[in-house]
Structure 1
Amino acid sequence: MTTRSTLLLGLAFLATSAFADMTYYVVGYPDTETGSFGVQIDNNGPITKLVTSSSTFPLWSILVPGVSATTPYKYVKLDPAGNPIVFESFTRSLAVDPTAIQTAYEVFDREVTDMKVPLVPLVYEPWEMSKTKIFDDGVIATIHLTGDTERWEGILKAPMEAQPMNANFRYINDKLVHSVDNITIAVSGKSSMEFNKQAIKLEFDTKANQTFFSRPSIKLRSESSDPTMIREKLYIDVLNAVGVPTQQGAWVRVFMNSKPVGLYLMVDDIGNSFLKQTVHHGDGGVVRGSLWQMNAPEVDRQGDLKYLGPTEDTYPKDCYKMKTLGGNPVTAPMTQLIQLMKSLEDFKPLEMNGGTYWESLIDVDGFLRNMAMEYLAGSWDAYWWSGSNYFLYFNPSLGTDNPPKGKWQWISTDFDGTFGDGDPTDTLTTYQAYADFSKHDRPMITKLIMQSPDLNKRFEQTLKDIVSYAFKPEALFPRLEAYEKMLEKDVAWDDSIDRSGYPGKTNAWT
């Protein structure tokens, strides 16, 4: 009876796998406009040419009848006559799913389409945010742009003076193709412009019903200073593990007019949509509060939150930039932020209970977790060290009152200068000696973390929690190793792109 059951199961398996019709999909760019791709079924078997269209390129596909999902296959780059030029160096198979009738949207010469990336252990309850299809940790998607070649070359050759341009946009991950015509492209960032690989911002016109999965704009981070291209994403991963609202990120390959631009980390652009999708968990009914972006354009001019008086004209505009007005008067948009800085000025850490004083003003836990990460990861281009690269958001839905009176939330950004990348120190010292405040004070650190006994105790406990669960080799190395395997070919591809005709620094990594 057992033998008969086994035989029947085997026949059932063959029936579902041996006579299926399989559709194969691959993303790829041929060497010429009339070149193409094919799929070779079974080792040394016949090659079937794949097809594409103006609405799917660079995604190619073909249905091959009578093929099992378990049959090995590989993709082949073809010349205009259909002759093979390049075979993939490995063999693919869908043996894990013998009932499959199509492949994922695979990428030519990339063995892994969806890497299973180990999770970073949670330290605290994760911050709930709306789900999206575009930030998948294990998938490197493709962004295919088409636009005026001369305009694009002009942007790359003179990024400091460049004006935005329009282009058509196509996003392809392992499951979907999403196309939007006539979006806006601009260079982005400040220090990234020092390199010959530019950071990019993509904007979608919501008034014209353009959409990119609820993101009206996204940023493509060039990671020009990081040879691994992993640091910024890993920092985001740990921020997720400590339960604070933060930008999400995923890697993408970017092409303009079928020419390689490079490998980028695609991240949220912090603005109104980010507040809705991330901070307010996708709830569009929440009236958004005031959002401010802080930077340090020079060493002596920082978004340090020092109180400079009741009037806005005393605060440097390039250090404090309003992103959303919130509940402030149009004629005095800085009102709430100045009130916060005045509260910071008035706080006497040795005379007042820090928790009692600050719990009604800010999300204390979120602030301490962000500062703990700045210290642990050596985030030297952030608030603790530089008074830069963060946002403050007055979240009207926070607070214990009914209705809530609102609190300020700390939102960190720009994590390229982390984990030793550009760090001005050779070794990480104690947090008490991590930064020198004698020449330029940053009172959120000196008053709350250094001088307030109860908040200092909470900060040290936060440090202990993070290093006990997430910030340690056994928690981060498995994820790092998965990222390394996932990115290996694409980082090499990015390094191979000739950018010698563009201004800026070139990193000669090998």
Structure 2
Amino acid sequence: MKLYDSFILFGCLLRWISIVYGRDVTFNVIAFKALNVYLDVEGLKYKMVKPDLSIPLYTIILEDVSNDEDIKYHYIVDDIHEEFERKLPKSTTTTYNELYGRKITIKNIPQFGFPIRRRWLKNGERSSIFDGSYIPTVIIDDVNGSFFKSGNSTILKKVTVFLKDSIHVFQNIEAESRDLKYNNFSFKLKLDGQGLFGTKTLFFSTTETDPSLMHQLIYSDILQAIENPSAKTVPCRVYDGNGNGRGLYILQEDTTSEDFMISHFLGFINLFNKNSTNNIGSIILGSPKSDFYYTEGAKPSTLYNEFKIVKDYKKFNAIEGLHGLSKALHDLDVNDLEQLSAFNKKWFDIPIFLKSLAVQYLTGNWNSYWMLLNNYVIYSNPLEINIEKRITDEGTHTNKYIKHYFFENKPLYTFGSHINSKVNEYEEKFPSESYNTLVDRMWGIYDKDSNYRIAITKFLESGYTKGMFEEYLINIVKYIFNPVTMNHKIDTLAERLRPEMEWITKLNNLHIGENGKNFSVADFDSEIEDEHSNFNLWGLKEWIRLRSEQVANEFNFKWYHSIITKGNVKLLDYIEIQPITHEKLMKILQG
């Protein structure tokens, strides 16, 4: 009892000391083109200093601040006060890197949850680059200030990245641009040294295909939730070296980069191991007309010209692996469970591919494998090479196999946005059509496009893979892709991104693309809430409602009645999805 009383007395003493002596608090704010920056704490002004004259970050330390009270404050830049009050909780000793004029620095965005037992554990390893609660600020400083006008790939003089609690500066950085048909074109940065927490390739994706600014963020989070290896994303403000705003981009991992393969197959820690590149396999990017072609006797070099080999693993080169995979797919009997198991082990991850197809269908991602034979990545993993030897009367025969994985690559056209009229044969009814309409059809979307999709025909027409795909489809709708869970995520993102759209509308375009768009705040709201948005046949919530209702009606089920997140999904029973025929699945669903 005396010991307990002593603890109470000691606690009271510490509290008294904290009240008497207080705390030292550091305030940090990013302010562009500023001459004088002040911190205003309940009417008292304190001049802030710029520790590095080349970086627009201002800071000040207030000493002996009460530990017992929240601090109410705002910033003043060149005599212009912020129009809102900020609040720093009691006992907190520093702010994050706040941006002048942005009211909310940290906002927790719910992540989707999916009760699947099979984990792609390396998806869970997030550096602070992709902390979804914070919007990074990036300054792009080129030599003559022409990058954002010309869009030419170049060497940038300096790149400064502000994360919530750190600043990173890179010199002489290679920049590659793409999507120049948009005013705010996309670009890729290749960082030197160890990069940004080991990530050496950063892709800045345009938001000019999406007035809501959130399609890519949602797509990425779905893939992460269903345990598919996929690019992490975060919204990001970009400024030029003169402090002029250049747009809001979606900052993401580059799925064609070596550091993506290291982090997702070797583990985050290996990003800092210079020898890790020895264990990176072939990286292949699909462009229009690229498919798993196989013809007996044909030279492999003539079948895969539409694929771009980003990296070739010399011990099992890309074309050799792709040809072996294509032959195995050609020979595969999807009604034979033993063959499916062997194919999945030796050549191709079937669950990851089927989950990707389900998301392509649900979101209407028409610029990927299913609908356009374009813009996807095939990776062969050298850690999963199998060598089999057979001894016959004719001698010893050796067979080599290398397992391949399918990745989505920078999905720009989703949720009905800019959908190709030849893909959409049903106009406004498109999201209410069964996935089977995209299986049993002739394609020919563009010149010399194939009439069929080899893997779609093989996996989704019949057999154990058709039912397996349907079970993934059902469960993704049940737990994620439905109005209950999706609208919760959308509403939170809208609160976060609406101020960013307000900022975007005040910017001037230097580059004018042939398909450039200048969205308004009204376009932002319309894209989210309206049945027919200002730019698309469907608003985001309407697309989700129609597509989810279609799947629920087709398979006679109801989605989960509560919001499912990464935080609460652990309370649910795990689901186990195995190969199953369509017929058996329907019997189970019908009870």
TM-score by length of 1: 0.85
Correspondence for 1:490: 500
Match of 1:136 among 131, 134, 137: 131
Cα distance change, pair 449–105 in 1 and its aligned pair in 2 (3 A): same
Q: Which residue of 1 aligns with 2:583?
A: none
2:200 corresponds in structure 1 to 216
Alignment partner of 2:216: what SS? helix
What amino acid is aligned across from residue 377 of structure 1 in structure 2?
T
The DSSP-based 3-state class of the residue aligned with 1:252 is strand
Deviations 1:155-174 (A, max 9, x none): x4433xx2412221111121
For 1:341 and 1:55, how far apart are their aligned partners in 2? Answer: 57
For the residue of structure 2 that corresponds to 1:194, the secondary structure is coil
Within 5 A, what are the aligned runs for 1:195-210?
195-205=182-192, 209=193
Tell me how far 1:477 sits from its aligned partner.
Answer: 2.1
2:434 counterpart letter in structure 1: T
- In the alignment, what sits opposite 2:568? none
Q: Please report how far the alpha carbon of residue 470 of structure 1 lies from its aligned counterpart in structure 2 after TM superposition.
A: 1.7
The one-letter amino acid paired with 2:141 is: T
Deviation digits for residues 96-146 of structure 1 (CA, Å, limit 9, x no counterpart): xx1122222222122221211222112424422244221111110111222
Paired position in structure 2 for 1:289:
281
Q: Distance in 1 between matches of 2:435 and 2:74?
A: 53
Change (3 A) 1:146 1:237: same
Q: Report what 1:299 is aligned to.
A: none
Aligned residue pairs: how many? 477
Q: Distance in 2 between matches of 1:487 and 1:10?
A: 44
Distance 1:459 1:254, change over 3 A: same
Q: Which residue of 2 aligns with 1:384?
A: 370
Aligned amino acid, residue 121 of structure 2: E
Partner of 2:110: 118
CA distance in structure 2 between the partners assigned to 1:223 and 1:328 by the alignment: 39
Q: 1:237 aligns with which of 213, 221, 238?
A: 221
Query: Do 2:459 and 2:466's aligned partners in 1 also have CA atoms closer than 8 Å?
Result: yes
Give the drift of 1:461. Answer: 1.1
- Check 1:500–1:211 CA distance in 2 against 1; reply closer, same or farther (3 A cut): closer
Tell me the residue number matched to 1:16. Answer: 18
State the 1:277 CA deviation.
0.7
Shift in CA distance, 341/501, structure 1 to aligned 2, threshold 3 Å? closer
AA of the residue aligned to 2:267: H
Q: What residue in structure 1 maps to residue 359 of structure 2?
A: 373
- Give, in angstroms, the shift of residue 39 of structure 1: 0.9
Segment of structure 1 superposing worse, 115-124 or 171-180: 115-124
Q: What are the Cα deviations for residues 388-446 of structure 1, in whole angstroms up to 9, with x where unaligned?
A: 111111123348999x9541111111222112222343332111103633542111011
- Distance change in 2, residues 1:168/1:480 (3 Å): same
Q: Relative to 1, partners in 2 of residues 1:263 and 1:407: Cα closer, same or farther, differing over 3 Å?
A: same
Q: Is the 8 A contact 1:123 1:470 kept in 2?
A: no
User: Identity over aligned residues, as a percent?
Assistant: 21
> Aligned partners of 1:316, 1:362: CA distance in 2, in Å?
17
Residue in structure 2 matched with residue 410 of structure 1 by the alignment: 406
* Cα contact 2:161–2:168 (8 A) shared by 1: yes
Determine helix, strand or coil for the equivalent of 1:60: strand
Gaps of 5+ in 2: 1-6, 389-399, 445-450, 523-591
List gaps (5 residues or longer) in structure 1: 297-301
> Is 1:280 matched up with 2:283?
no
Alpha carbons of structure 1 residues 100 and 456: separation in structure 2 relative to 1, 3 Å:
same
- CA deviations 1:294-331 (Å, max 9, x no partner) are 011xxxxx1122225642442463x201122124567x
Of 44, 52, 60, the residue aligned with 1:46 is 44
Q: How much is the aligned-residue C-alpha RMSD, in angstroms?
A: 3.0
Larger helix percent: 2
Structure 1 stretch 391-400 or stretch 242-251: which is displaced more?
391-400
Q: Are the aligned partners of 1:180 and 1:210 in contact in 2 as well (CA < 8 Å)?
A: no
What is the identity, as a one-letter code, of the residue corresponding to 2:302? T
In 1, are the aligned partners of 2:235 and 2:248 still within 8 Å (CA)?
Answer: yes
Return the offset for 1:201. 1.0
Aligned equivalent of 2:60, options 55, 59, 62? 62
CA contact (8 A) 2:149 2:510 kept: no
How far apart are the structure 2 equivalents of 1:503 and 1:474? Answer: 37
**Structure 1, 419-428 or 485-494: larger mean CA deviation:** 419-428
Distance 1:477 1:145, change over 3 A: same
d(CA) in 2 for partners of 1:491, 1:181: 30
Q: How far, CA to CA, are the matches of 1:55 and 1:338 in structure 2?
A: 56
* Matching residue's letter, 1:241: A
Deviation, 1:6, is 11
Decide which of 456, 459, 471 is 2:481's aligned counterpart. 471
One-letter amino acid of the structure 2 residue matched with residue 396 of structure 1: P
Task: Tell me the SS of whatever aligns to 1:396.
Answer: strand
Change (3 A) 1:8 1:213: closer
Relative to structure 1, is the Cα distance of residues 11 and 93 closer, same or farther in structure 2, using a 3 angstrom cutoff? farther
Equivalent in the alignment of 2:95? 103
Query: Aligned AA for 2:131?
Result: D
The alignment partner of 2:174 has SS state of: strand
CA distance in 2, matches of 1:316, 1:361: 17
Tell me if 1:343 matches 2:328: yes
Deviations 1:178-236 (A, max 9, x none): 11222122313xxx32111111111123xxx3522112211100111101110011111
